[in-house]
Amino acid sequence: MPSFSHFFQTFISSKGLFLDATLLTLKLTIVSILIGIIFGLFFALLKISRIKILEYISNAYVFLVRGTPLIVQIFILYFGFSGIFLIPDFWAAALALAFHNGAYIAEIFRGTIQSVDKGQMEAGRSLGMTRGTAMRRIILPQAFRRALPPLGNQFIIGLKDSSLAAFISMNELFNVATTLGSNHFDEMTYLLIVAIYYLVLVALLTMIVSMLEKKLAISDR
């Protein structure tokens, strides 16, 4: 184990690089979650469409994502995409993570949509709304609110998962840590440092999520 003063000095001297990497990690996570939300909503709606073929497509997507390791998905999408289109590494990584997050977000949305009382749809329909209008105006706004806390948790998971983008040479937190570690023949120090960065980020996000939960609990019902 490194001595504390050595650890502290290294922490200070490396902070420029790590802060840049933090920004990239956050950017990667935010973009992949936002795109993942679009994927998730799309596949959740397919799943509850009551149209068999669309349900199967949605199930297949969730099955594929849950049934294979994220690192395999990242490599397939990275090499697959860069073989066909020239997309920047950032977008290859963001899309791969979004594809992955989307499946979990689809399950979150499916759950919260189905948790909205079925009387809400009936009330909307009895007022002359189509199923689509009632879904958009009545059900989804309620489902979104309920989805916020689990989406926050998915964000935290997504943040940690984004470390795998290091393997397609994204200079996010984990990659910076391993690179600096091997350059200085001091892996353990840098790994401990990066662990602290992740812990602080996750702690901050956890606070935000629980604040959200409290706020929603107050305004709910």
Partner 1 sequence: MNSREMIKIENLNKSFGSLHVLKDIDLSVYESEVVCLVGSSGSGKSTLLRCLNFLEKKDGGSIFIRGEEISPDTHNINDVRQTVGMVFQHFNLFPHKTVLENIIEAPIIVKKIPKSEAVDEARELLQKVGLEDKADVYPSKLSGGQKQRVAIARSLAMKPDIMLFDEPTSALDPELVGEVLTTMKELADEGMTMVVVTHEMGFAREVADSIVFMNDGKILEKNCPEEFFDNPKEERTKEFLKTTALK
Contact positions toward partner 1, by CB under 8 A? 117, 119-120, 122-130, 133, 137-138, 141-142, 145, 219-221
Nearest to 193 by CA among 207, 178, 171, 183: 178
111 vs 31: CA distance, rounded Å: 23
Q: What is the DSSP string of 186-215?
A: -HHHHHHHHHHHHHHHHHHHHHHHHHHHHH
User: Closest CB to partner 1 among 9 and 126?
Assistant: 126
Report the residue number, 53 or 220, with the smaller CB distance to partner 1: 220
26 or 121: whose CB is closer to partner 1? 121
Decide: 102 and 35 in contact? Cβ < 8 Å: yes
* Shortest Å distance, C-beta 150 to partner 1: 18
Question: Quick check: 125 and 62 in contact, CB under 8 A?
Answer: no
Nearest distance from residue 146's CB to partner 1, in Å?
10
Instruction: In angstroms, give the least distance from the CB of 137 to partner 1.
Output: 6
Min CB(130)–partner 1 separation in Å: 6
Minimum CB distance to partner 1 smaller for 143 or for 194 = 143
Closer of 24 and 135 to partner 1 (Cβ): 135
**CB–CB of 142/116 below 8 Å?**
yes
Nearer to partner 1, 52 or 118 (CB): 118
Q: Whole-number minimum distance, CB 101 to partner 1, in Å? A: 26
Q: Concatenated DSSP letters for 60-93?
A: HHHHHHHHS-HHHHHHHHHHHHHHHS---HHHHH
Smallest gap from residue 50 Cβ to partner 1 (A)? 14
For 128, the 3-state DSSP assignment is: coil
Please give the structure tokens belonging to residue 119. Answer: 């009387």
